Structure 1
Amino acid sequence: MHPSPDERHPGTGAATDAPEPTRRFGLATATCLVMGNIIGGGIFLLPASVAPFGTVSLVAFGVLTLGAVALALVFGKLARRHPDTGGPYVYAREAFGDFAGFLSAWSYWTLTWVSNAALAVAAVGYVHVLLPGHAGRGTDLVVALAALWLPALSNLAGTRYVGAVQMVSTVLKFVPLLFIAVVGLFFFDPANLGSFTEGGTGTLGGLSAAAAILLYSYVGVESAAMSAGEVRDPGRNVGRATVLGTLGAALVYLLGTVAVFGTVSHDKLIHSKAPLSDAVNAMFGGHWGGTLIAAAAVISIVGALNGWTLMSAQSPYAAAQDGLFPAAFLTKRRGVPTFGVIAAAVLASGLTVINYLLGSGGVFEILVLITTFSATVPYLLAAGAQIYFLLTGERDRVRPGRFVRDLTLALAAFGFTFWLVAGAGYAAIYQGVLFLFAGILVYAWMAARRTGRGPRAAGAEPAHLGDAPTS
């Protein structure tokens, strides 16, 4: 068994006898962190995106939900074993060594700041609905940058404020979405449903095609595990928050999609640009649904950005404690790794500027493709780590009678994540692998620093890829 991340490398600046930090996130806040990170802006377009495949897409959503819950349960069990900040990074490094841990941290870090830029750009479209007549590339850039930096400022104020913003934003977006989902069932008309399969794809083809679009709806299930170091009683609360947050998001996703399918005619839905707005208008008449949904979307995206900004700092912070990321990422105030927050905000801002000022949409789309692959690397390694711990007998707090159940869950989570990789598409995998391998240069640089600050330092042994950390 490899040493835990608490056994720090010398020279990283993290003391081994540091006092236990104040844990600021209770169960409710941790649950809101998971739910808020899962539910971003996608829910407002998903029903129209999968409508062309027919109602088989509802079956795909149900299957994906089962896989996401399995992954959530695995993260809960891993967090009970290792309740430290860093989540997937911590588990991968303990099971497979430094290199696997670095790949997990690098991939997750990439996912967070690139996807933050995408969320900020998505928020601009909804702001246009709320404040019409203010279109323009310069204005859009200002709005997008504000969407990035306001959550960053909330994070810099400390975890107390992060938790408060997450609680409020999750409630403000969850309540109206749940209202639409539940009330929509009373207006459900089977005549609005299209065929079970559309476009001649067949049941299996339609299921796979719809799943490919829906696959990343549950990215964020690891959020409580990633911030386990800030959660009170993480052995109990991280697992509970992960499952409760995932189930809460699934409730909104599934009921909301069913409600839209049953209130908006299929012919209109497949061409809809705002399916939830169309559903509200169909239920209550008028045209005020667009404004209501746009407001909910802006709140949803800002809440997601608040949570993902924290995630963007947690993974490199944990890796920096072990000498796998630059020591600057260790800077922490009020429970938040401040350098990581600022670095992610700056990088996301750079992508946003490229998108609006240079008009390099192709470059931006390539980077977004990278995030779709990057999400799967930490998930695969975490599920693999749980399988490793179980098969090698390192089953802390796991009763022998639960071995088969836990192994089945871990295999289901691994299979679910493998499905995510397959659904990402060739372009996403190709671009993602290139960016992942580019991180090897960073790993080589950090490994050289740990072994003597030079390639031929006296007495230094070479750091082999995959070697476990030394205490």
Structure 2
Amino acid sequence: MSRDWLRRRLGVFDIYSLVHADSQSTFYFVLGVIAAEAGRQTFLVVLYGTALMVAIALAYGEMGSRFPETGGSYLYVKTALGSTAGFFSAWLLAFDQAVMVAYGSLDGVLYIANMLSYYGISVPYIAARAFSFLVALGLFVLALIGIKESARASALVAVLDIVLIGFLTVALGLVLELRTYPPYFSWGDVDAKDIWAGLSYASRGYTGMDAIGQLAGEAEMPLVQVPRATILAAGLGAAYGIGLTALLMNGVAYSAVVSNPATAVVEIAAASSYGRWLVLPVGIVTAVVQIMAALAGFVAFSRLLYRLAEERLLPQAFSKVHRKFRTPHVSLILSAAIALALLAPGEIYLIVDVYAVSSLVNYLMVSLALLIETRRGELYGAMRSPTIRGISIVGAAGAVMTAIGLALSAIVRFGELWIIGLWALAGALLLALRRKK
């Protein structure tokens, strides 16, 4: 099988698998955190987060089928709102890709540690922290020497994830083991610690849908593959989110979730009647999904900054490649530095509080771009959402819900937003210097 064939080939499931590695890894990471805060209201909170995810996925699918070329959200926002807005949409999204490296590395290690604990092997948290550093550095080396996203590898991981987690813990569990009923299941007496924090985390519970836009320009038949991959990602994402939440609230004690919020999926597997056989494969596959998402973070970060440098909005250093490895080493070094800085404190909640706020800004801009382009009558892609008097329902829903998510994040977890503000300020300075030149 030639490299040229593999480079040209990007089918429906290949696009979905790359989106899956990003979006599902985020939800696996955040589900327990949402539940720890929202208590018995968790199911209703996740329904809100799922509706937001579907709206954003459809918005990216519609815009991707209209602009089947490389550029993603930068191209959409630039067309509707101008180059400055397009720059910040991509610059802020790039920051979340670097954060993804940190959380994927740490949470992947935590899943392994939690899985081992069911077999009597205790891994101290300080050892897990140290190993997460090694994972992040190892992924950096892989990205630097030329390891790129492989459609076949991502598809394999997606298949394993669907089979083990989708079938065994969701489909089989819901049919045979669901003994309580929504919306509270077995948590009827568990009060919410902070419902607003739960809603804030749920707003950021799914990310990665932006990969639909990034991959639209690489698909062989984007007008066919992008809409189908969008429906697949939105449909399975909703099924995973709702199903796993139901299983968590049905069979896992709330105290166990609070003690291990970052590894809720293993807790679900352990609580089932098949826990003896499920914990090991579920823990391994979930950890691999998280680590692959971290590797994808390196690739996506460098790709976004490369595009901005090619557009002459960033210094040309970000578009230069290593003489030997032919990879954008400056961007990769920067993303590794950000990830290691976030891993250094060893606080899982620091990463959770910082993650995906920038993506919400990006999603808000894309939703507004969809509203504007639909109103102008300039969207003629293969996927079109319903409209009311020229107003896209998908665009309006995405804009409203992402604005709510941003407001909640600013109010509830404002203490860490200075980190994102610092990144935005650095982007503004680089943009000003570049335009001055």
Q: TM-score, normalised on structure 2?
A: 0.82
Name the larger-Rg structure: 1
Are 1:373 and 1:424, in contact at CA under 8 Å, matched by a contact in 2? yes
Distance 1:229 1:338, change over 3 A: farther
Write the distance in 2 (CA, Å) between the matches of 1:65 and 1:399: 21
- Structure 1 position 193 matched with structure 2 position 185: yes
- Structure 1 position 38 matched with structure 2 position 30: no
Of 306, 312, 316, which aligns to 2:295?
A: 306
Q: What are the Cα deviations for residues 70-122 of structure 1, in whole angstroms up to 9, with x where unaligned?
A: 21111111112212222111111112222111111210111111221222122
Write the distance in 2 (CA, Å) between the matches of 1:117 and 1:215: 20
Question: 1:155 offset after TM fit, Å?
Answer: 8.4
Letter in 2 for 1:383: S
Q: What are the Cα deviations for residues 107-143 of structure 1, in whole angstroms up to 9, with x where unaligned?
A: 0111111221222122222333466467585785355
- Corresponding position of 1:76: 61
Write the distance in 2 (CA, Å) between the matches of 1:136 and 1:382: 39
Distance 1:109 1:353, change over 3 A: closer
Letter in 1 for 2:22: N
- Corresponding position of 1:453: none
Distance 1:36 1:398, change over 3 A: closer
Write the distance in 1 (CA, Å) between the matches of 2:133 and 2:385: 52
Question: 1:381 offset after TM fit, Å?
Answer: 1.2
- Structure 1 position 183 matched with structure 2 position 175: no
Write the distance in 2 (CA, Å) between the matches of 1:288 and 1:99: 53
- Corresponding position of 2:312: 323
- Structure 1 position 96 matched with structure 2 position 86: no
Write the distance in 2 (CA, Å) between the matches of 1:400 and 1:34: 21
**Matched position secondary structure for 1:375:** helix
Write the distance in 1 (CA, Å) between the matches of 2:246 and 2:276: 21
Once structures 1 and 2 are overlaid, which stretch shifts more, 210-219 or 41-50? 41-50
Of 200, 203, 206, which aligns to 1:215?
A: 203
Are 1:116 and 1:148, in contact at CA under 8 Å, matched by a contact in 2? no
Once structures 1 and 2 are overlaid, which stretch shifts more, 127-136 or 227-236? 127-136
> Tell me, which stretches of 5 or more residues in structure 1 are unaligned?
1-20, 450-471
**Matched position secondary structure for 1:220:** coil
Alignment of 1:275-424 (within 5 A): 275-284=264-273, 289-331=278-320, 338-339=327-328, 342-351=329-338, 353-354=340-341, 360-361=345-346, 369-397=353-381, 403-404=387-388, 407-424=392-409
Q: What are the Cα deviations for residues 249-306 of structure 1, in whole angstroms up to 9, with x where unaligned?
A: 2211211111222223456555555443343333226756543432122111122223
Aligned residue pair count: 417
Q: What is the root-mean-square deviation of aligned Cα atoms in Å?
A: 3.5
Are 1:170 and 1:303, in contact at CA under 8 Å, matched by a contact in 2? no
Letter in 2 for 1:105: A
Distance 1:193 1:272, change over 3 A: farther
Q: What are the Cα deviations for residues 361-420 of structure 1, in whole angstroms up to 9, with x where unaligned?
A: 57x976764443211221111111111112233333589995428611111111121122
Write the distance in 2 (CA, Å) between the matches of 1:183 and 1:400: 35
**Matched position secondary structure for 1:412:** helix
Are 1:112 and 1:309, in contact at CA under 8 Å, matched by a contact in 2? yes
Once structures 1 and 2 are overlaid, which stretch shifts more, 163-172 or 230-239? 230-239
Q: TM-score, normalised on structure 1?
A: 0.77
Distance 1:414 1:139, change over 3 A: closer
Distance 1:320 1:368, change over 3 A: farther
Q: What are the Cα deviations for residues 27-82 of structure 1, in whole angstroms up to 9, with x where unaligned?
A: 11001111111011642662474156344321222232222212111111111221
- Structure 1 position 108 matched with structure 2 position 93: yes
- Corresponding position of 1:469: none
Once structures 1 and 2 are overlaid, which stretch shifts more, 343-352 or 317-326? 343-352
Are 1:323 and 1:446, in contact at CA under 8 Å, matched by a contact in 2? yes
> Tell me, which stretches of 5 or more residues in structure 2 are unaligned?
1-5
Normalized per residue, the structure richer in helix is 2
Of 421, 425, 443, which aligns to 2:410?
A: 425
Q: Percent identity?
A: 21
